[in-house]
Amino acid sequence: MRRILVPTDFSEEARNAYEVALAIARRTGAAIKLLHVVEGQYYTPNFSATGDTMVGNDSMEQVFMMQLLKVTKGRMQELLKAIPHQGVDVVEEVDVDKPISKIKRTIEEDQVDLVVMGSKGSSGLDEFLIGSNTEKVVRTATCPVLTVKQRIKDFNVREIVLASDFKREVRYAMDRFKTFQQLFGARMHLVYINTPGAFESSGNLRQKLEDAAEKYGLKNYTINVYNDVMEEDGILHFANDIKADLIMMATHGRTGLSHLLSGSIAEDLVNHTPIPVLTFHLK
């Protein structure tokens, strides 16, 4: 792992994510880019966040944006000073753009290995109609995304839940998940949530999980079949039962009408659990 991206809006949750990213960087030697994206009604594609080039530079709108950028860069410097990052290469960037577009472009251009983001979570009509920026990144990022809500004083993962149906496509995510497990020397708990609508015998399911563990060369793991009404509830209940430090899931990243009608268990977990969630978008 060489590059970690931490988008920040200077919220408490974003600060918590930055602290977790620093803990990971100290274990891996990775560099961190701390990114804040200003999105305002005065944004135009020709505007330069550095102030080197501006179109209509005598307009009040552009003057306002330059003042906003000055204040924002000051807040970025305050954040860097407030949280010690000795031994970690941290660079900061403030840009004017659409946040999701900028994050996706940065992932590609900087060859980012991991995005660490804060999440406030959401519920009800706001969640259905809008969704959070974090959820959109989880849905579209081409690298793993770690979402963090609460402050974790010492991010030291010991117990990991890997929830999946363990079908063939999960292989694209398994190497990423194994790397994270090995980074912390954690125990991985493979779990299949057995629901009334798709019930299978526990014996068959346990054999399926054992076959997957052997196929992917897993070590230090347990096999679990957990009965619950819904997949999301089962994952949360199981994670709480074993006092998990991290939940890992692959997501298909559905968008548009398909996403609204079907939803995504991984995105729902990001919204609803205080436990950090590591997701990987299956292409």
Please report whether residue 83 resides in a domain: yes
CB 14 within 8 Å of CB 7: yes
Cα→Cα distances 195→124, 167, 230, Å: 24, 17, 6
- Nearest of 255, 188, 196 to residue 223 by alpha carbon: 188
Determine, yes or no, domain membership for 86: yes
The one-letter amino acid at 15: R
pTM: 0.86
List the one residue out of 42, 158, 22, 56 whose CA is nearest residue 96.
42
Do 43 and 144 lie in a common domain? yes
C-alpha distances out from residue 231 to 79, 95, 172, Å: 38, 39, 21
Q: Are residues 138 and 91 in the same domain?
A: yes
* Count of domains for the chain: 2
- Structural domain of residue 169, as residue ranges? 159-244
Q: Is 262 part of a structural domain of the chain?
A: no
Whether 280 maps to a domain, the answer reads no
Sign of the four-CA dihedral 259, 232, 276, 180: negative
* Residue 171 forms part of a structural domain: yes
Residue 181 and residue 56 share a domain: no
Each residue's pLDDT tens digit in the chain (283 positions)?
999 999 999 999 999 999 999 999 999 999 999 999 988 654 455 555 555 444 445 577 778 788 888 999 999 999 999 999 999 999 999 998 888 999 999 999 999 999 999 988 654 433 333 347 787 888 888 999 999 999 998 899 999 999 988 876 677 889 999 999 999 999 999 999 999 888 889 999 999 999 999 999 999 999 999 999 988 999 999 999 999 999 999 876 554 443 333 347 777 788 788 999 999 887 6
Query: In this structure, which amino acid lies at residue 186?
Result: A
Is the same domain home to 138 and 191? Answer: no
- Is 74 part of any domain? yes
Considering the domain architecture, whether residues 95 and 166 belong to the same structural domain is answered as no
Do 83 and 201 share a domain, yes or no? Answer: no
List of E strands, 199-268: 221-227, 246-251
What is the domain-level CATH number for residue 217? Answer: 3.40.50.620
Do residues 130 and 47 both lie within one domain? yes
